[in-house]
Amino acid sequence: MPAMAETGALVRLSVCYARPDAVFLEDVEVPAGTTIIGAIQASGLITAYPEVDPTTLRVGVYGKLKALDTVVRDGDRVEVYRVLTADPKTARRKRVQTTRKSGVREGQKWLRGGGSGGEGGQGA
């Protein structure tokens, strides 16, 4: 290991968490070798939002899922992800149904085809 790590080198990073009504974004400095869970604890996120439990929520760095024991690097943005409140397939299905009911041509095109294997390649 380099001598810097032994003398207490610091790593600068950001920890973020978003809710529909608020955003938590905190820049922190942690000792080199700190894991994601340590960075989250050092940021004060758990104090600010007690309902956040990083051991049950998914976490990542710049949009890539990571394990809690991943060592953070200088410049990382540690992200804590909320659980989905709606199933994406169900939400899309509801949007399509709403569009169909509105009578807009965009919503009607899905009612035309079916089994003939038309232009869209969306048979049966």
Residue 73 lies in a domain: yes
> Which CATH number belongs to the domain containing residue 16 in this structure?
3.10.20.30
Residue 16 lies in a domain: yes
Q: Is the pLDDT of residue 73 over 60?
A: yes
Residue 110 lies in a domain: no
Residue 104 lies in a domain: no
* Cα 4 from Cα 19, distance rounded (Å): 38
Q: Pairing state of beta strands 77-81 and 10-18?
A: parallel
Q: Which domain holds residue 42?
A: 3-81
How many domains are there within the chain? 1
Q: How confident is the model at residue 40, as a pLDDT?
A: 92
Q: What is the pTM of this model?
A: 0.62
Question: Strand, coil or helix: what is 94?
Answer: helix
Average pLDDT over residues 44-48: 89
Average pLDDT over residues 5-23: 82
Residue 8 lies in a domain: yes
Residue 106 lies in a domain: no
Average pLDDT over residues 84-106: 76
Residue 95 lies in a domain: no
